[in-house]
Chains A and B, each alone.
Chain A
Amino acid sequence: MRLPFVTSLTNEERSARIAARRKASAFWRGVHRGASLHMAMILLLILALACAAATVAESRFTAEIARHYIYRSPLFLGWLGLLCLNLFCVTLDRWPWQRKHLPFVITHYGIITLLVGAAIGSRFGYEAFLSLEKGAPPEGRVALNQNIVLLRGLHTGDSYEIAFPTETRLPDEAHPRLVAIPEAPPEAGLVLKIDAYAASLAMVEDLAASDAGGPGLLLRFRSRMMGQEVPLALLQNDDAWRKRSFFGLATVEWVASFDAPVDTDKPLLRLLKDGPVFRYRLLKEGSVQKEGILLPGSPLPLGWADWQATLEGDLAHASVEKRLSPTAATSPDAPSAIRATLLADGKAVSDPTWVPSGTFQSFPNPLPSVDPGRPLRIGFGLQTKPLPFAVELISFDVPRDPGTASPSDFVSTLRFYDLRGGTQRATAHMNYPATYPPGFWRSALGLNYKFSQANWDPENLDHTTLQVLHDPGWPLKWIGSILIVIGIALLFYSRPPANLK
């Protein structure tokens, strides 16, 4: 039987033809050179090394660093392109193909198809997140995994999105990021200076001078093992702030005398103002563990895991104020944020202001030509993208293993609204995503959207987060995958191994 793509030429005729085209055509010479096995080896080995380095980078730092510097770097993608080219040349190199070449060709075209599918997927498709709340109106936008600064145009009020990658090269005071305010007259020199980024921002307490207040001090607790830092303020004359609980595990107290009765079995840190210095005494179950002088700035190991306390400072007249500040704690209540200042002609015309993720902050508008009552609105957060339909969460269920609180599944029941007012119900649970719009061909061709269960909030069971995937490269990935597996199987088992018989 004659197979498709298989030549009827004899071995000699085929060799002669290959030799002839090598001589006659620069293109074919290029193809034969590009099909070098040495080059393929170098491509393979460097690709493997780069991937290994990336996984180490991910383990040491973050997945974003690995992505930015390796997986999505032009060099890495170019390398994959080069691999594709090499694979293509390798198959052309053997043209016209004989029967024995088919497994080889199938495998190598499979890899090319897979890589092309991946390229199409990343160019024309996207991955995003969709957070839904039961009872909330249908959502028509998804959040991409990319931070942006959002500026409103001064005149039109239009939105301007500026990419703000937070994986790498974050701005700091020495290297601020400057963003021109859109629609502002160039001569005004109106610029937004972003000089800090915080992975998490929370209300923390701080000591502020206050004439009405009594003496106050600020301690900072640090734990290297936890990667945590907690400021704690004490006010000598205020009962609510004189004695503080440290996460309910220990107590910190400002006392007038160390002889004051101890009313707790938990570890206790007592501080006493003695002239210009603070004395401390550490107690556990009523007995003294350690005492001495607490010098400002030098950490005191407390013996509570690896927590250390440092005296940051004290004021004779103080009050406690809470303000937004970067923190090392990772909690859902602590969003990421940028710190921005508005500059006009290089001079600050606003206070530095933290803009937490998902919010807008108003900055005073310094331009008299523009409606002065209208503030400048600056937002920060994840970039969003519109869906061609809207999604509503009907219910979110977390069935549990019998007799335990551990979830056995996560089930989001969704309702989709198309633009013509039609609705459709679907459920997304683990391993079974919801797809919309429905239909076999849309699904086979990757022209639909897939909603996979991604995140949940144990504290709020009316809330779910879905991963949204739109991947037009999907069919090529499928075909490529199947070709690779069939090709390798044929390569290995359709004939005895060369040189090893």
Chain B
Amino acid sequence: MKRFLLLLLCLPGLLHAAPLRFDALSQIAIQDQGRKKPLTTFAREATLQLTGRTSVVLPEEGRTLSATDFVLTLWLAPKGWDEKPVLLVDYLPLRTALGLPADRKRFSYAELAGNAALQTLLSDGGRMRATNPAGGADGGTRLQKAASDVAARLRLFAAIVEGSSFTIVPMPSSSSYDAWSVLPDLPRFYSRETCLEVLLPFRDFVDAWKAGKQASLDDAAGRLAKALRSLNPATYPAPSRLTLESLYLRVHPWRWAWIGYAAAALAFLLTARCLPTAGYRLGWACALAGFACQVFGFVCRIVIAGRPPVTNMYESIIWVSFAVVLFALILEAIYRSRVFLAAGTPLAVAALMAVDFQPLVFDASIQPLTPVLRNNFWLAIHVMTITLSYGAFALAMALGHVALFRSLRGKLAAKHDTITLYVYRALQIGVLLLAAGTILGGVWANYSWGRFWDWDPKETWALITLLGYLAILHGRFAGWWGDFGLAVGSVLGFLSVVMAWYGVNFVLGKGLHSYGFGIGGTRWAVLYAVAEVAFVALVLRRRAAATSSRT
């Protein structure tokens, strides 16, 4: 009842503060971290980095600010914001080391900036920083990484409040200097008239924003964008590029993709008994719709970034889920068995949901690459081949689960069960692509790092995975196991893929593939591995029990 009354009291306030929309700002480009992007993208990325969320919740004030509103507030009306607990410190040992309360995750700028323990931690981390351009540097301890993340948040917060983040003014075409500058620097480069052409719409924009007038805001933002573009149209991103990026951000095609796949999975699973034909068609349609969303997402990302979308954990998970569905679609089109898509789509849903709901672990922002990766040819052929193989192995793993479930229910034929053929087909694709991708990696390494093979952990785990899958295939010929063993192998073999893919970068954390290193998610990976092993153990036990009862 109390809550209801509270809601009633808040209602007029909520109605009054109909949130402003800032779509018009997407036509204003900002040069940030080596890339020109829409101001709205910057606001979203900055808000995510500062707070760990894409919008800012202020429970005490009973309101939520959108990313753009939050960043504009920090920039244009920052008074009192250094006291508000918005900056994320999510790593508990860091909170302990800094003497911060363990039960809060967000702290104010004032609380963090004055923390001496943080300064000590950072200066120690700074002295130990390595300078190897090809990678190979150890990333320091997790604590240092967490501390430097917090320091980056403090710097970003200060830069937004000071306005130095807002490098939205392109240099005149006569200048050889390519770093954009901030609005207060306009008079250094442009005539008084030109400055006024930019600053007047900016003033109108600020006034409209403060007054909460949507129409005036849109109009002023449009004029500001036009004025900024006219300063140097040649270096300004094309309007279509900015529109595409803001569209990509707004539409969020990955979410639609997993919704499509989830619908497909449901259609396949629920209609297996009743309406199988209609369900099958519906499943195909949903899977294709989800697939189309993913294709759209990739096209956007490739156009925006100008490179293949396989350069960090976020992109590679999306790419692998794409590969799972791609191979499922191809094999389904050949065999018309329903099981490929029924097994593959739930996996794609799980992967896409994981990246969608863990934006801090999986960084969605598009950043310039470390120099060694700036080669679209090798990125495309080495990294995409390897990650496609992960997709094929993931599909084999999903099909392996189907086979093991069939075995649990006593439905797996002792020999020549079609599911074994399907598992085998998926494994074939994986082995071929992994062998090719690993070798291509060696050829690339020969050019970039100056050697073909040097037992780098990533290389080694690719080899271990390959050897594991070769053993799974050869073991069948050697008579060590049969169809059932192949299914078990496809499930357990995927653990080595997880190790090669995630484990090397997030657990081992050594070697030359250091640009992909990260932290977090270890608990989930271990949980997954334990669950798989337990599942296989359960199936084996049931099978042994069934065999002994038959004899």
Q: Which residues of A contact B (CB under 8 A)?
A: 37-38, 40-41, 44-45, 47-48, 51-52, 54-56, 58-59, 63, 66-67, 71, 118, 121, 127, 223, 225-226, 228, 247-250, 266-267, 284, 303-307, 329-331, 400-404, 406-410, 430-433, 450-458, 466-469, 471, 474, 477-478, 481, 484-485, 488-489, 492-493, 497, 499-501
Q: Of B120, B128, B424, which contacts A249 at CB under 8 A? A: B120
CA distance A451 to B449 in the complex (A): 9
Chain B residues with CB under 8 Å of A223's CB are: 124
Chain B residues with CB under 8 Å of A66's CB are: 455
Chain B residues with CB under 8 Å of A331's CB are: 127
Contact yes or no, B133 A453, CB < 8 A:
yes
Chain A residues with CB under 8 Å of B123's CB are: 247-249
Question: Can you list 18 A-B contacts with CB-CB less than 8 angstroms, sorted by A residue number?
Answer: A41-B480, A44-B470, A51-B461, A247-B123, A403-B34, A403-B178, A406-B33, A410-B133, A430-B448, A452-B447, A454-B133, A467-B449, A467-B451, A485-B432, A485-B436, A485-B439, A492-B428, A492-B431
Q: Looking across the interface, which residue of chain B has its beta carbon closest to that of A402?
A: B178
CA distance A408 to B375 in the complex (A): 11
Check A458/B510 contact, CB under 8 A, given A54-B460, A284-B116, A431-B448: no
How far, in Å, is B471 (CB) from chain A's closest CB?
5
B172 within 8 A of partner (CB): no
Of the listed stretches B193-201, B225-233, B366-374, name the one at the interface; the rest are far from the partner chain.
Answer: B366-374
* Extra contacts besides A466-B450, A474-B452 (4): CB < 8 Å: A63-B455, A63-B511, A468-B450, A478-B443
Contact yes or no, B447 A127, CB < 8 A:
no
CA distance A400 to B33 in the complex (A): 11
CA distance A66 to B457 in the complex (A): 10
Contact yes or no, B451 A127, CB < 8 A:
yes
Contact yes or no, A59 B508, CB < 8 A:
yes
The interface size bin for chain B is 35 or more
Chain A residues with CB under 8 Å of B453's CB are: 118
Q: Give the one of B116, B480, B511 with max A CB within 10 A.
A: B116
Q: Looking across the interface, which residue of chain B has its beta carbon closest to that of A403?
A: B179
Check A454/B468 contact, CB under 8 A, given A305-B117, A403-B180, A406-B34: no
Chain A residues with CB under 8 Å of B475's CB are: 41
CA distance A492 to B143 in the complex (A): 48
Chain B residues with CB under 8 Å of A455's CB are: 131-134
Contact yes or no, A225 B442, CB < 8 A:
no
B360 within 8 A of partner (CB): no
The 8 A CB mask of B17-38 against A (1 = contact, 0 = none) is 0000000000000011111000
Top 6 A-B residue pairs of the complex, sorted by shortest distance between their CB atoms: A401-B34, A452-B450, A467-B450, A403-B179, A59-B508, A48-B467
How far, in Å, is A124 (CB) from chain B's closest CB?
14
Contact yes or no, B134 A51, CB < 8 A:
no
Check A48/B508 contact, CB under 8 A, given A249-B123, A403-B31: no
The 8 A CB mask of B255-280 against A (1 = contact, 0 = none) is 00000000000000000000000000
Chain B residues with CB under 8 Å of A54's CB are: 455, 460
B188 within 8 A of partner (CB): no
Chain B residues with CB under 8 Å of A452's CB are: 447-450
Q: Give the one of A44, A228, A305, A432 with max B CB within 10 A.
A: A305
Check A304/B460 contact, CB under 8 A, given A484-B439, A492-B428: no
Contact yes or no, A407 B371, CB < 8 A:
yes
Contact yes or no, A485 B374, CB < 8 A:
no
CA distance A162 to B123 in the complex (A): 40
Contact yes or no, B424 A497, CB < 8 A:
yes
Contact yes or no, A41 B374, CB < 8 A:
no
Contact yes or no, A59 B455, CB < 8 A:
no
Chain B residues with CB under 8 Å of A52's CB are: 461, 464
CA distance A54 to B511 in the complex (A): 12
B535 within 8 A of partner (CB): no
Chain B residues with CB under 8 Å of A471's CB are: 446, 451-452
Contact yes or no, A454 B447, CB < 8 A:
no
B509 within 8 A of partner (CB): yes
Contact yes or no, A430 B133, CB < 8 A:
yes
B435 within 8 A of partner (CB): yes
CA distance A58 to B375 in the complex (A): 28
Chain B residues with CB under 8 Å of A401's CB are: 33-35, 368
CA distance A430 to B448 in the complex (A): 6
Chain B residues with CB under 8 Å of A306's CB are: 97
How far, in Å, is B109 (CB) from chain A's closest CB?
18
Contact yes or no, A55 B133, CB < 8 A:
no
Contact yes or no, A485 B371, CB < 8 A:
no
Chain A residues with CB under 8 Å of B468's CB are: 48
B240 within 8 A of partner (CB): no
Q: Of B368, B455, B504, which contacts A71 at CB under 8 A? A: B455
Q: Give the one of B97, B120, B134, B464 with max A CB within 10 A.
A: B120
CA distance A328 to B125 in the complex (A): 14
Q: Looking across the interface, which residue of chain A has its beta carbon closest to that of B30?
A: A403
B474 within 8 A of partner (CB): yes
Q: For window 476-495 of chain B, which residues contact chain A by CB distance below 8 Å? A: 476-478, 480
Chain B residues with CB under 8 Å of A59's CB are: 457, 507-510
Contact yes or no, A127 B450, CB < 8 A:
yes
Q: Of B131, B178, B510, which contacts A457 at CB under 8 A? A: B131
The 8 A CB mask of B400-436 against A (1 = contact, 0 = none) is 0000000000000000100011001100100110011
How far, in Å, is B301 (CB) from chain A's closest CB?
19
B141 within 8 A of partner (CB): yes
Q: Looking across the interface, which residue of chain B has its beta carbon closest to that of A248?
A: B123
Chain B residues with CB under 8 Å of A501's CB are: 416, 421
Contact yes or no, B124 A228, CB < 8 A:
yes
Q: Looking across the interface, which residue of chain B has its beta carbon closest to that of A52?
A: B464
CA distance A407 to B471 in the complex (A): 43
Contact yes or no, B116 A304, CB < 8 A:
yes
How far, in Å, is B464 (CB) from chain A's closest CB?
5
Chain A residues with CB under 8 Å of B368's CB are: 401, 404, 406, 408
Chain A residues with CB under 8 Å of B365's CB are: none
CA distance A132 to B453 in the complex (A): 25
Q: Give the one of A127, A228, A249, A266 with max B CB within 10 A.
A: A249
B91 within 8 A of partner (CB): no
Contact yes or no, A404 B464, CB < 8 A:
no
Q: Of A38, A44, A450, A497, which contacts B450 at CB under 8 A? A: A450
Q: Give the one of B33, B432, B463 with max A CB within 10 A.
A: B432
Chain B residues with CB under 8 Å of A37's CB are: 474, 477-478
How far, in Å, is A465 (CB) from chain B's closest CB?
9
Q: Looking across the interface, which residue of chain B has its beta carbon closest to that of A129?
A: B450
Contact yes or no, B471 A44, CB < 8 A:
yes
CA distance A85 to B112 in the complex (A): 63
B216 within 8 A of partner (CB): no
CA distance A452 to B508 in the complex (A): 26
Chain A residues with CB under 8 Å of B116's CB are: 249-250, 266-267, 284, 304
Contact yes or no, B508 A58, CB < 8 A:
yes
Contact yes or no, A477 B442, CB < 8 A:
yes
Q: Of B124, B442, B447, which contacts A481 at CB under 8 A? A: B442
Q: Of A38, A67, A247, A303, which contacts B455 at CB under 8 A? A: A67
The 8 A CB mask of B166-194 against A (1 = contact, 0 = none) is 01000000000011100000000000000
Check A329/B127 contact, CB under 8 A, given A41-B478, A305-B121, A406-B34: yes
Contact yes or no, B431 A488, CB < 8 A:
yes
Chain B residues with CB under 8 Å of A329's CB are: 127-128
Check A58/B131 contact, CB under 8 A, given A44-B474, A284-B116: no
How far, in Å, is B439 (CB) from chain A's closest CB?
4
The 8 A CB mask of B502-525 against A (1 = contact, 0 = none) is 001001111100000000000000
Chain B residues with CB under 8 Å of A474's CB are: 446, 452
Chain A residues with CB under 8 Å of B374's CB are: 408-409, 430-431
Chain A residues with CB under 8 Å of B372's CB are: 430-431
Q: Of A48, A305, A485, A492, which contacts B124 at CB under 8 A? A: A305
